[in-house]
Structure 1
Amino acid sequence: MSAELDTPVAVRRTAMDLLARREHGRVELTRKLRQRGASLELIEAALDRLTEEGLLCESRYLESFVSYRARSGYGPLRIREELGQRGLQRADIELALRECGINWQEKLEEAWRRKFSGQLPLDARERARQGRFLTYRGYPLEMIGRLLSGRGMDD
């Protein structure tokens, strides 16, 4: 896409094309439009208008992102970090994680079963390996410890 975005119409059209594919946050959309050669003034005006029209919505983006990453097997700590790196406000991130309605214990068990076939670790080395994987995925150590000791499972 080498077309220069030098008019308000071109910036708006490109922003709408990006939003048609998936939800975006304002910071992310600004970055993408800047990479395509749009000026900051044109971007701000276009994004303000899209926000007023309800086409660009941070809370909808947060909800979509949290849901998508949770379905992919990632935990709240990892999702929180990724959203922070995308320039979203910490308070908005916390609110989205609190109100998402996701049972993180169930998601943890699901990710663990998928990766380790539901086999509890038999020794310290295997426990460390499973713990590292789940920590990397973004689950709290307390939940991981409860799961790997067999206390967090319902079966």
Structure 2
Amino acid sequence: MTDADSAFNDVSQKETATGKALTGQRLRSLAFAYLAKKEFSKAQLRSKLLEKDAIPSEVDALLDELAQQNYQSDERMAGMLVRSNLRQGRGPQRIQQQLKKYHIDSTLAEHDLSEVDWFAEALACKIKKFGEDVASDPKIKAKQIRFLQYRGYQMDVIMRVIHHKAED
């Protein structure tokens, strides 16, 4: 194969690759199909569409349009993440990690996070795992502290929870 032949093959491969790129209605349909299944952050949806060989400028324009028409909303996604993580017994630090994982600005979840009684959430989590008794053994207390830290609760809340008695 000559250099001219290999150059022709490179050009033709690029043309076929761009010919198969998602554009227009196909791109829009795929975006709606993803959003119909579950909520996505803007960054997640962008990466999923780019995986399908979509043109970045068209993806950005489509995402702006979807956000403007409220089909895609990072604020809605942030609220969903907060509620989901609360149901799983996770604290504010773990929720912040989740927001970063999905590339969502943490300020979008501030309202939802500020309404939570973190002491009550941590206490419910501790009672579910260890019961209502206050541990006197340092090893058991350390185990409870580690558990609540892993769940993402702050140390001041954890200390109040592990010393909390039912009659308080």
TM-score range, shorter chain: 0.7 to 0.9
Inter-CA distance 154–14: structure 2 relative to 1 (3 Å threshold): farther
Inter-CA distance 85–154: structure 2 relative to 1 (3 Å threshold): farther
**Given the alignment of the two structures, is residue 104 of structure 1 paired with residue 118 of structure 2, yes or no?**
yes
What TM-score do the two structures reach when normalised by structure 2?
0.78
The percentage of aligned residue pairs carrying the same residue is 28
RMSD (Å) for aligned C-alpha atoms: 2.0
Ranges in structure 2 where 5+ consecutive residues have no aligned partner: 1-19
What TM-score do the two structures reach when normalised by structure 1?
0.84
Tell me the alpha carbon deviations over residues 13-43 of structure 1, each in whole angstroms, 9 at most, x when there is no partner: 2222222222221112112222333232221
Match of 1:66 among 67, 82, 86: 82
Write the mapping of 1:29-108 to structure 2, written as runs, cut at 5 A: 29-98=45-114, 101-108=115-122
Deviation at 1:94, TM superposition (A): 3.1
Match of 1:20 among 36, 45, 49: 36
Amino acid of the structure 1 residue aligned with 2:139: R
Q: Distance in 1 between matches of 2:69 and 2:35?
A: 13
Ranges in structure 1 where 5+ consecutive residues have no aligned partner: none
Q: Distance in 2 between matches of 1:36 and 1:15?
A: 11
Q: Distance in 2 between matches of 1:35 and 1:118?
A: 49
Give structure 1 regions of 4+ aligned residues with deviation exceeding 6 angstroms.
none
Amino acid of the structure 2 residue aligned with 1:9: Q
Matched pairs, number: 149
Contact 2:75 2:109 in 1 (8 A): no
Q: Give the equivalent residue in structure 2 for 1:138.
A: 152
Inter-CA distance 48–111: structure 2 relative to 1 (3 Å threshold): same
Q: Which has the larger radius of gyration?
A: 2
Q: Distance in 1 between matches of 2:118 and 2:24?
A: 43
